[in-house]
């Protein structure tokens, strides 16, 4: 509809002023509610062409449109704004057109589509997932669906940080304190089991450091010389040297963690096409660094450590290999990036990683470019904000976190309580009820997280549970369930729809509002993909559902006696259902048939 108007205005200007107008001078937007009209042309930029006042320019164009464009039934001019009125019947035709499109809102993936690798999740194998990881996983997964729906070829990937000093900490603590206990022997989920030893390590390490300080050490010396830290360092050296017993322990503990992660990923509903392990990629990283050192792009210091000097790019020198030859975090990321490029020849590589690592990703891309990898220009750090608690940020070292598994369980439990209180889901089996409550609880959680602008920090208050009313996931799910219910009833009573033509049908204002919003869906998906913002989808769905609920409240669908109108409303409802379901899908949220 907007394009139609754009064309009309271009023609108007050519005819009136004998100029072909540059498209970005045509500012067309939706008419604000307080004014009459559907679409508004801002006339100020056009005064340069018309050499008339904005009001007169708007009036000229308005008159031309009314005469020459069939869909335009009238106009008004307020200040420099030309409010164009689209004849109501056009919207009915528009509904028919879009509801007959296959895969409305999707762009099919052609042979020359961009290849985008999206990395998200990226857990450490020393502790279970918490709320921060949930935000990461939900953003990454939703982005993958949005970008793929916008026509890109997507590879969802994960890098498992399965090696390094932090893993050794859990291993050391287990050796010292576990007496051979396992997840099986304690009945614990594997990731939680291992995480407890990590927390135990940190606790005892802190005590040891404090004792050393009391005995006269400086805090730095104490941190370096505490027996637990020495043991962890020793463990890391043995691991990198391939010590059999160490590797065996490492394998065993990681396998416990993976079993736990699988459960959490499944509960969250996220998936990956390809998983990389740091323990596989860090060696490539070391080779890259050594080769680049030989080629003279890097510096080796007297103690043997290897650095890159990025001071020309206003950054510091950055360590790439320790003096003892072991790899640091960025070493493996260099290796991983090169391996991935060889695997997929991506056009873009999106890293979904928190904003605390902004510096890291600046260094990563620059280092790869210095090493001669031109494609590193396609690396993009999707930097999202932290999830904070009312008392500040979460601290996994101290065990002060909102655990992912706990939170998912709590959300489902809340959904269950509400469902009971509201007397819903009568006639369903316990399994069916549980399934629906899980969808709703997760819907509330996912929407809560995805509706906020990714780059902003967000606060989560565990004391106030996430809402199920208002601007929430369940609100949108509920709207969907209502529609399903109507359509089901239509089927049961033998009412079919979609057979009428709406050429002479004049929709009411509520219906027109709904159609206008539905009409925006494809451009919204594109925008969400280019802006990389699930929040745009979330907020759009809310507006959409709210608008539909008003219509639903004010008018009867199945009770409508005029067959043509009833057909039209069913069609409107069906399209609404499709768009809501697809929109929720883009966010990784399931749409229940009933709730």
Partner RNA sequence: GGUUCCGUAGCUCAGUUGGAUAGAGCAACAGCCUUCUAAGCUGUGGGUCGCGCGUUCGAGUCGCGCCGGAAUCACCA
- Sites for RNA among residues 557-586 (CB under 7 A): 557-559
The number of beta carbons lying within 10 Å of the beta carbon of residue 139 is 23
Least CB distance to RNA at residue 154 (A):
23
User: Which residues, 6+ apart, have CB-to-CB distance to 46 below 8 Å?
Assistant: 13, 21, 25, 54, 57, 61
Q: Using the rule CB under 7 A, which residue among 88, 175, 457, 519 binds RNA?
A: 457
In this structure, what DSSP letter does residue 303 have? T
Q: How far apart are the C-alpha atoms of 445 and 589, rounded to whole Å?
A: 10
Residue 221 makes contact with RNA by CB under 7 A: no
Binding characters for RNA, 160-189, by CB under 7 A (x = yes): -x--xxx-----------------------
Q: Using the rule CB under 7 A, which residue among 316, 343, 398, 432 binds RNA?
A: 316
Q: Of the candidates 108, 117, 141, which has an alpha carbon nearest to the alpha carbon of residue 585?
A: 141
Subset of residues 74 to 93 that bind RNA, contact rule: CB under 7 A:
78-81, 83
Least CB distance to RNA at residue 472 (A):
7
Subset of residues 479 to 508 that bind RNA, contact rule: CB under 7 A:
481-482, 484-486, 489
Q: Cβ closer to RNA: 333 or 405? A: 333
Q: Using the rule CB under 7 A, which residue among 422, 465, 491, 563 binds RNA?
A: 422
Residue 338 makes contact with RNA by CB under 7 A: no
Subset of residues 509 to 568 that bind RNA, contact rule: CB under 7 A:
535-536, 539, 542, 546, 549-550, 552-559
Least CB distance to RNA at residue 111 (A):
29
Q: Using the rule CB under 7 A, which residue among 70, 245, 303, 504 binds RNA?
A: 303
Q: Cβ closer to RNA: 344 or 555? A: 555
Residue 389 makes contact with RNA by CB under 7 A: no
Structure tokens at 454: 């990714």
Contacts 24+ apart (CB under 8 A), 502-506: 502/89, 502/92, 502/93, 502/95, 502/96, 502/564, 502/568, 503/89, 503/92, 503/93, 504/89, 505/89, 505/92, 505/564, 505/565, 505/568, 506/88, 506/89, 506/92
Residue 461: is it exposed, middle or buried by C-beta count within 10 angstroms (0-12/13-18/19+)?
exposed
Residues 160, 164, 167: CA angle, nearest 5 degrees = 80
Least CB distance to RNA at residue 471 (A):
4
Residue 27 makes contact with RNA by CB under 7 A: yes
Q: How far apart are the C-alpha atoms of 502 and 565, rounded to whole Å?
A: 9
Structure tokens at 517: 């919003």
Q: Of the candidates 202, 204, 205, 222, which has an alpha carbon nearest to the alpha carbon of residue 213?
A: 222
Subset of residues 392 to 421 that bind RNA, contact rule: CB under 7 A:
393, 415, 418-419
Residue 459 makes contact with RNA by CB under 7 A: yes
Residue 329 makes contact with RNA by CB under 7 A: yes
Distance of CA 440 to the CA centre of its chain: 19
Residue 382 makes contact with RNA by CB under 7 A: no
Q: Cβ closer to RNA: 154 or 436? A: 436
């Amino acid at each position: 509809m907007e394009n139609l108007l754009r064309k009309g205005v271009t023609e108007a200007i050519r005819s009136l002023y004998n100029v072909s107008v540059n498209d970005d001078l045509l500012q067309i937007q939706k008419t604000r509610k307080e004014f009459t009209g559907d679409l508004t042309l801002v006339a100020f930029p056009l005064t340069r062409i018309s050499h008339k006042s904005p009001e007169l320019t708007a009036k000229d164009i308005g008159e031309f449109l009314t005469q020459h464009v069939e869909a335009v039934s009238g106009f008004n001019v307020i200040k420099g704004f030309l409010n164009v009125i689209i004849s109501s019947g056009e919207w009915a035709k528009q509904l028919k057109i879009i509801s007959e499109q296959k895969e409305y809102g999707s762009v099919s993936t052609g042979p020359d589509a961009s290849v985008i690798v999206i990395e998200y999740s990226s857990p450490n194998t020393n502790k279970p997932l918490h709320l921060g990881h949930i935000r990461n996983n939900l953003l990454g997964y939703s982005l993958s669906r949005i970008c793929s729906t916008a026509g890109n070829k997507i590879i969802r990937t994960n890098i498992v940080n399965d090696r390094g000093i932090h893993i050794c900490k859990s291993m050391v603590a287990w050796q010292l304190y576990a007496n051979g206990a396992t997840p099986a022997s304690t009945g614990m989920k594997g990731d939680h089991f291992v995480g407890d030893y990590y927390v135990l390590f940190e606790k005892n390490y802190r005590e040891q450091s404090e004792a050393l300080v009391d005995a006269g050490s400086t805090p730095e010396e104490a941190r370096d010389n505490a027996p637990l830290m020495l043991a962890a360092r020793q463990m890391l050296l043995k691991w990198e040297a391939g010590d059999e017993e160490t590797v065996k322990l490492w394998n065993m503990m990681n396998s416990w963690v993976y079993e736990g992660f699988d459960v959490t990923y499944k509960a969250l509903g996220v998936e990956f096409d390809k998983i990389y392990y740091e323990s596989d990629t860090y060696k490539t990283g070391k080779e890259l660094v050594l080769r680049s050192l030989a080629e003279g792009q890097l510096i080796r210091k007297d103690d043997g450590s290897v650095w890159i000097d990025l001071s020309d790019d206003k950054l510091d020198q950055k360590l790439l290999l320790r003096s003892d030859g072991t790899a640091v975090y960025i070493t493996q990321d260099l290796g991983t990036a090169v391996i991935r490029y060889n695997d997929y020849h991506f056009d873009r590589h999106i890293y979904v990683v928190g904003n605390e690592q902004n510096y890291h990703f600046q260094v990563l891309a620059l280092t790869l470019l210095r090493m001669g990898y031109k494609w590193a220009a396609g690396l993009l750090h999707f930097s999202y904000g932290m999830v904070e608690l009312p008392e500040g940020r979460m601290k996994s070292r101290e065990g002060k976190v909102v655990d992912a598994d706990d939170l998912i369980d709590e959300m489902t439990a809340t959904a269950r309580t509400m469902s009971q209180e509201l007397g819903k889901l009568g006639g369903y089996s316990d399994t069916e009820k549980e399934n629906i409550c899980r969808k709703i609880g997760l819907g509330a959680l996912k929407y809560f997280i995805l509706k906020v602008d990714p780059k902003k920090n967000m606060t989560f208050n565990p004391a106030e549970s996430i809402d199920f009313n208002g601007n929430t996931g369940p609100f949108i799910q509920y709207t969907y369930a209502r529609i399903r219910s109507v359509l089901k009833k239509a089927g049961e009573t033998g009412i079919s729809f979609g057979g009428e033509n709406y050429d002479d049908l004049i929709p009411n204002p509520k219906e027109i509002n709904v159609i206008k919003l539905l009409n925006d869906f494809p451009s919204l998906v594109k925008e969400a993909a280019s802006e990389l913002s699930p929040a745009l989808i979330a907020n759009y769905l809310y507006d959409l559902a709210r608008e539909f609920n008003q219509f639903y409240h004010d008018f009867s669908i199945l009770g409508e006696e005029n067959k043509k109108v009833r057909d039209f409303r069913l069609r409107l409802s069906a399209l609404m259902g499709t768009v809501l379901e697809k929109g929720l899908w883009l966010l990784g949220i399931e749409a229940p048939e009933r709730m």
